[in-house]
Structure 1
């Protein structure tokens, strides 16, 4: 009864164009992942080897973090895709609510030292 499950499935529901798009997307995700690993290594190396002066270390690492954040949003959260409009709206709204909240809390903690 289950003999047909051991046989390979020759036909695919995807067209050749969909297969090419899928391979292209997979390549882009691997490149983005490799770039994010490189940026992480660069941040660790910059701090560990004093490659970046102390006064520029935090801005340098924040810039690397922003680039990584953008790559993650575009490639792994699929914000570059056209059919995710509502997801994009909610994520951008969340960012615009979160950033002022974090800044306000940092200012509050910085002003009232415990």
Structure 2
């Protein structure tokens, strides 16, 4: 669990050290998420190259894509930070509406 306490010191040196530590943590998380996204991309390519059934490959790649979108939103677009609640609400609401719409159209087409 990462604590997000702000420094309340009036000492500029302490504030600088606090910001430096937070920036280092943020950069580490971005590097880790970037590495995981590259790994997921390689896994997707290997899955396709291995010749698995399309009934396994397509949902698996879509799952990896959803995980990568979550990484993009939370770590590279900083949606996990305070102050991004309203944009986050609208973004996730749009994703839910898009998912329900696609699901409804797929259901109508299959009937």
Shift of 1:107: 3.4
Q: TM-score, normalised by structure 1?
A: 0.73
**Following the alignment from structure 1 to structure 2, what is the Cα–Cα distance between the partners of residues 76 and 109?**
36
Shift of 1:105: 2.9
Shift of 1:53: 4.2
Corresponding residue number in structure 1 for 2:72: 72
Per-residue CA deviation, residues 35-91 of structure 1 (Å, 9 max, x unaligned), is 1011011101111122x4443222221221221122112112222112211111111
**Following the alignment from structure 2 to structure 1, what is the Cα–Cα distance between the partners of residues 100 and 20?**
43
Corresponding residue number in structure 2 for 1:3: none
Corresponding residue number in structure 2 for 1:41: 42
Q: What secondary structure sits across from 2:74 in the alignment?
A: helix
Shift of 1:16: 1.1
Q: Which of the pair has more CA radius of gyration? A: 1
**Following the alignment from structure 2 to structure 1, what is the Cα–Cα distance between the partners of residues 59 and 92?**
23
**Following the alignment from structure 1 to structure 2, what is the Cα–Cα distance between the partners of residues 22 and 29?**
10
* 5+ residue gaps, structure 2: 1-12
Count of equivalent residues: 99
Q: TM-score, normalised by structure 2?
A: 0.75
1:101 to 1:54, Cα distance in 2 relative to 1, 3 A: closer
Corresponding residue number in structure 1 for 2:23: 22
**Following the alignment from structure 1 to structure 2, what is the Cα–Cα distance between the partners of residues 77 and 102?**
25
Shift of 1:102: 1.8
1:99 corresponds to 2:96: no
Please give the residue correspondences for 1:77-96 in structure 2 after superposition, counting only pairs within 5 Å: 77-96=77-96
* 5+ residue gaps, structure 1: 1-11
